[in-house]
Amino acid sequence: MAEEETTVEAPVSVVKKKEAKGKKIRTKRPTSKKWSFYKVEGGKVSKSRKSCPKCGQATFLASHKNRESCGKCGYTVFKTSQKPVVEAKPESTPEPVKQQ
């Protein structure tokens, strides 16, 4: 009776690959400061920023110098100055068409 020698070879390469994959390294991202836009005063919640009409109440508009924009959908509201800018274009008289 010839006994077969069973050699157990550990798949070293597979183990190494598993170690290489591992867990994904989480990249540090700045946390959302949406909570800072809410203010609780006397049991009532007030918002310091305007909310986007397209995205809903939970999405706030970022305040810039001359505009407020939504970072989600791109909705932009331009802050109009106190003086409403109205470009009064002088009505150009149509040139009379010469009939031949």
Beta bridge partners of 40: 45
- Stretch of residues binding Zn ion (CB under 5 A), selected from 18-26, 32-40, 46-54, 77-85: 46-54
In 3-state terms, the chain is what percent helix, strand and coil (to 5)? 15, 20, 65
The one-letter amino acid code at 71 reads G
61 binding Zn ion? (CB under 5 A): no
Would you say 51 and 58 are in contact if contact means Cβ atoms under 8 Å apart?
yes
Q: List the interface residues with Zn ion, window 63-82 (CB under 5 A).
A: 70, 72-73, 75
| One residue of 17, 34, 54, 79 binding Zn ion per CB under 5 A | 54
Q: How far is the CB of 100 from Zn ion (least distance, A)?
A: 58
49 binding Zn ion? (CB under 5 A): no
C-alpha closest to that of 50 among 36, 39, 60, 40: 60
51 binding Zn ion? (CB under 5 A): no
d(CA 50, CA 61) in angstroms, rounded, equals 6
50 binding Zn ion? (CB under 5 A): no
List residues binding Zn ion (CB under 5 A): 52, 54-55, 70, 72-73, 75
